[in-house]
C-alpha cells in the first residue's frame, strides 16, 4: 500500500484493522473497503474468559459514514473464537472491533452515532430526507426514531438556583408543582400535587440546590425548610432572606428567595448567611 493509503487507514480505522483493498462501484455509487481483523485473542461475551482458539472466519458488511457523496460499505473479515472455559455454555463467539462494530449491528458505531444525532436534531421525516437524498445513507424515519429512543437519558447537573410554583392540569381540580432551573429556565422536575412533604422530598433529591425562589405560599416555605434540614450533615437552611420588588398576581404576595447554605463540618467553613 502507498504511504497515503497507510495514513488513511491509520486515520479512519483502529490499529487492529488491516485494509486490504479499496473498490469503487460506479453503478451503485458505493465505495467498498475490504478489511480484516488482526487480533489474536478475544473475550467471551458471556463468561469474559479470553480465548486464542480460532474456530473460523466470516465476513461482515456494516455500512459506514459516506465519503465524497458515495455510500461506504465495509467487507470486514472477523474471527470466530472458541470459548475454552469449562463452565461456560457458549461454544463459539465472534470478536467485536472496539469503536467499530457491535453484535448484530448493520452499521459502524460512528455511523450509528451520526444517525442518532441527526435524528435528534431534525426528527424523523426531515432527517430521513436529508440522509437519503443528500448524504447517501438510505434510511427510514422509523429507524431513525428508534435510534433516538435508544439513546440514554441525559443527566443534567444538579441546579443551584430553582424556582418552585404550582400550575393546574385542570383548573380548580388537578394541580401540580414545577421546579424550574432559575438561570436557564429549564424544567428540573414536575411533582404531583402541591404538598409540602412531596416538594421537600424532591428538593432533597437535588443536593446542589442552594437557593429556592418562591411566592409567599407557606406550603412552599415549609417545603424549602424541610428540603434543607434533612439533606444530611453539613447543610442547613439559613432563612428567607430576599424579597423581589415586583408584586405577584395576588395583591401583596411577593416572590421570596430561600437561601440554603452549605458548610464543611471538617474545616468549619459556613455558608453565606444572606444573598
Q: pLDDT, tens digit, for every residue of 158-201?
A: 788 888 888 888 787 888 888 888 888 888 888 888 788 888 88
In a domain, 131, yes or no: yes
Same domain, 138 and 214: no
Q: Residue 214 domain-assigned?
A: yes
**9 pLDDT above the threshold of 50:** yes
Same domain, 3 and 91: yes
CA-CA-CA-CA torsion for 229, 230, 235, 240, nearest 10 degrees? -30
Please say if the pLDDT value at position 261 is more than 90: no
Beta bridge partners of 84: none
Question: What's the predicted TM-score (pTM) here?
Answer: 0.58
pLDDT, tens digit (0-9, with 9 covering 90-100), for 87-146: 999 999 998 888 888 888 899 999 999 999 999 999 889 999 999 988 889 999 999 999
In a domain, 267, yes or no: no
Establish if 191 belongs to a structural domain.
yes
Structural domain range at position 214: 161-262
Domain membership of residue 268 (yes or no) is no
As for how many domains the chain has, the answer is 3
Residue 274 lies in a domain: no
Are 130 and 199 in the same domain? no
Cell numbers at 60, concatenated: 461482515
Do 122 and 91 belong together in one domain? no
Query: Which tens digit of pLDDT belongs to each residue from 29-82?
Result: 888 888 888 888 889 999 999 999 999 988 999 999 998 888 888 888 889 999
Do 120 and 172 have their domain in common? no
pLDDT for residue 8: 56
* Residue 174 belongs to a domain: yes
Distance separating alpha carbons of residues 175 and 143, to the nearest angstrom = 38
Whether 173 and 223 map to the same domain: the answer is yes
Residues 194 and 180: their CA atoms lie apart, in Å, by 15
Does 144 share its domain with 93? no
156: DSSP letter: P
**Helices and strands of the chain, counted as H and E runs:** 6, 14
Record the cell numbers describing residue 43, joined without a space.
Answer: 473475550
Residues pairing with 179 in the sheet: 164, 189
- Asked whether residue 186 is assigned to any structural domain, the reply reads yes
Q: How far apart are CA 258 and CA 248, in angstroms?
A: 17
One domain, residues 10 and 85: yes
How many percent of the chain have pLDDT more than 70?
A: 72
Amino acid at each position: 500500500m502507498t504511504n497515503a493509503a497507510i495514513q488513511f487507514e491509520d486515520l479512519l480505522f483502529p490499529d487492529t484493522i488491516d485494509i486490504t483493498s479499496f473498490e469503487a462501484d460506479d453503478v451503485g455509487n458505493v465505495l467498498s473497503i475490504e478489511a480484516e481483523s488482526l487480533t489474536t485473542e478475544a473475550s467471551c461475551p458471556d463468561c469474559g474468559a479470553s480465548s486464542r482458539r480460532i474456530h473460523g472466519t466470516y465476513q461482515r458488511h456494516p455500512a459506514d459514514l459516506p465519503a465524497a457523496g458515495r455510500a461506504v460499505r465495509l467487507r470486514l473479515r472477523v474471527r470466530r473464537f472458541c470459548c475454552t472455559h469449562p463452565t461456560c455454555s457458549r461454544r463459539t463467539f465472534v470478536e467485536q472491533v472496539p469503536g467499530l462494530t457491535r453484535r448484530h449491528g448493520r452499521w459502524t458505531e460512528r455511523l450509528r452515532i451520526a444517525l442518532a444525532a441527526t435524528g435528534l436534531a431534525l426528527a424523523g421525516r426531515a432527517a430521513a430526507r436529508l440522509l437519503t437524498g443528500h448524504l447517501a445513507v438510505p434510511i427510514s424515519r422509523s429507524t431513525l426514531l428508534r435510534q433516538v429512543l435508544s439513546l440514554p437519558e441525559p443527566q443534567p447537573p444538579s441546579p443551584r438556583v430553582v424556582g418552585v410554583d404550582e400550575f393546574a392540569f385542570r383548573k380548580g381540580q388537578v394541580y401540580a408543582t414545577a421546579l424550574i432551573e432559575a438561570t436557564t429556565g429549564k424544567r428540573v422536575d414536575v411533582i404531583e400535587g402541591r404538598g409540602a412533604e412531596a416538594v421537600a422530598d424532591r428538593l432533597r433529591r437535588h443536593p446542589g440546590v442552594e437557593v429556592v425562589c418562591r411566592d409567599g405560599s407557606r406550603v412552599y416555605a415549609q417545603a424549602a425548610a424541610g428540603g434543607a434540614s434533612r439533606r444530611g450533615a453539613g447543610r442547613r437552611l439559613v432563612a428567607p432572606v430576599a424579597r423581589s420588588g415586583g408584586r405577584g398576581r395576588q395583591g401583596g404576595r411577593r416572590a421570596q428567595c430561600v437561601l440554603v447554605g452549605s458548610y464543611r463540618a471538617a474545616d468549619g467553613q459556613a455558608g453565606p448567611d444572606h444573598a
